[in-house]
A and B are shown apart, each in its own frame.
Chain A
Amino acid sequence: MTDATEQERREAEALRRLLEDGGDASAADGAATGAAPGAVPDGALEAAALLNWATDRDSRPAGRHAALRAELLATADRAPAQGWGRWLLPAGAFGAAVAAVVLSLTAGPGAKQAPLPEPDHALLVAQARAIESRALDLHAEELAALDDAMRSYRATVLTTLAERYGEAE
């Protein structure tokens, strides 16, 4: 094995100082270390930074961790407060509550569909006459007759519905 050249020794010294000083570029330019400028080989800065980050994390100042943590928490607190996105959760909860109330009110035995009573002949004939008499007189008696014919049918329908929903409730 041959002895190292002067150039190789300068590069090794520069790398050693880089690793000791945490990858600081000012240490690598030789001004503070006494190493000659340009002594650091290509890629040495990146390699030193990676090595320091991977092997020396625990020795970093605790104050810097605390500062980073505080900054992250402050960012996390500010982020949801911007824009309408912060209302999505309460709005969704409110919508779900309304849907639940509506579903609970619409479900149940009252939701069964049953046909209403059929109209009798007299009502249908009165209806047909009301249509046919239209051109004779705008206030034709047939319209009043239709209204009269509706009374018994209306009473039947309303009684049917009151019984249907009264039983369901």
Chain B
Amino acid sequence: MNARRVQIALVGALVLALAAGCDFPPKADWVERAAEAHRIADEALARGDHDGARDALAAFVDAPRPLGMQPDDCRTVVQDACFRLATIELSADRARESLAWAERGLVAGRGDDVVTANLLIARGRAREALGREREAAVDYYVALEINEKLLSRALGGER
């Protein structure tokens, strides 16, 4: 077998591996999975099962995300799940884990919207719990700026 045939076989194998290994979910299914993860978390929290709530949401965040979704739409869903995870960990006195989830959510991006502000608040809480008051103050300040913009927009819409 000459080198050219080996190269063609390798390229074909790589394409097949890519197609088989990357299980990108359909966009609408992924959004419904997010709703389902939140529903499971609600039920778990209602019976005091913090670990169950965390596992359901963490599995969703760790799962592959769909291709072709608008970045802000995807970010909103992921950041909201991370906010809940950070809140759940904080309520279980796990500040480091809470901080990790907040950081992970903020890595997904930032916007002048509710979910980014929520994550900044959660990160501020986690940092405060870890004795990092100065960094926490910065988070609160930025969250407050976003909150004021949102309030101003909401009030402006009514006038």
Contact = CB atoms under 8 A, between A and B. Distances in A.
Does A associate with B in a complex? yes
A168 B125 contact: no
Given A86-B7, A110-B69, A134-B124, A116 B76 contact: yes
A111 B68 contact: yes
B108 interface: no
B91 A144 contact: yes
A165 B140 contact: no
B153 to A, nearest CB: 7
A169 interface: yes
B7 A128 contact: no
B14 A105 contact: no
B121 A158 contact: no
A16 interface: no
Interface in A80-129: 80-81, 86-87, 89-90, 93-94, 97-98, 101-102, 105-108, 110-113, 116, 118-121, 123-124, 127-128
A119 B24 contact: no
Main secondary structure of the interface of A (DSSP, over half): helix
Contact of B27 (A107, A118, A147, A168): A168
A164 B11 CA distance: 36
Interface residues of A, number: 52
B3 interface: yes
A150 to B, nearest CB: 7
Interface of A: 80-81, 86-87, 89-90, 93-94, 97-98, 101-102, 105-108, 110-113, 116, 118-121, 123-124, 127-128, 130-131, 134, 138-139, 143-144, 146-147, 150-151, 153-155, 157-158, 161-162, 164-166, 168-169
14 contacts: A87-B7, A94-B11, A98-B18, A118-B157, A119-B113, A127-B114, A143-B87, A153-B114, A157-B77, A161-B31, A161-B77, A162-B31, A162-B32, A168-B28
